[in-house]
Structure 1
């Protein structure tokens, strides 16, 4: 079987923790780039999050304030409000991107491993292939996509929607390149494990 290892650090971490007879089939991570929710809004769908609404309001407010400043009404108070608005909008975006850049995924012949981050520590979730009853994917306009793992019973997992910045309470692999191929690879491993 061809191994598709995209993340060498994760490969070393996971390889040292595999049980007997278990082998790593695929590993990867979300697309690594700095993104703003307002831009990704148009890459995905028409879903509007509170974060993207606040970014729209900040852009409008900034445009009005900059026009006022250019007309000669330079006030320190206006500049401070403008800076405060941008800090409020950018801090959640920086945190979202930091979390996205540290998230990693792995597929073995026995389980799917999802490593996410909470503030300063990693949280590792494992979904045995025998628990997954279906796998679906959703492609985005930017060529990446999301893979939904649908377990046969409720499991306690918290993943992140890196577009909207909201929590999900089910297993997903976010911003995966060539998600259709990875979905087929997961389905193939599920079929092999059920034999």
Structure 2
């Protein structure tokens, strides 16, 4: 019995399937877009107000990814759209609010850096993408646990659920129908 054997067995009940990274990234992109759009509407115009937009984005990110998750059975709007939810890795239940705050401080910090990179443009954008790439790259590097850095930090996992909009399945269906019409 190795140290890994203590970590892997019976972490989640067998009926809970861990979400693929591309689905998780799509759900996060939905949340990012929603927070970005709302922060843009709240602050318009001057470059001097850019700092205000970043602060509003950070607050909206925490609202969407912590407050909404607590009140919506583990689902942010992006997770709901993609039939995902975040759970504690040991109990398979909703994580504590402290854990969600820690988790989203890391993920939201990476997204905030991405937003700053968008506003600065050029090669600076690449520098601001690196933290998100590292965070998600950790999840891609371990196909067994599928935990990004922010998930490992507080021991959470993102799993599939039957509750949601199934946007990924609806998009696949539309693409399949479009391919059939082309043929």
- Bigger-Rg structure (1/2): 1
TM-score normalised by L of structure 2:
0.28
Q: Which structure is richer in relative contact order (CA contacts within 8 A, separation 6 or more)?
A: 2
Normalized per residue, the structure richer in helix is 2
TM-score normalised by L of structure 1:
0.27
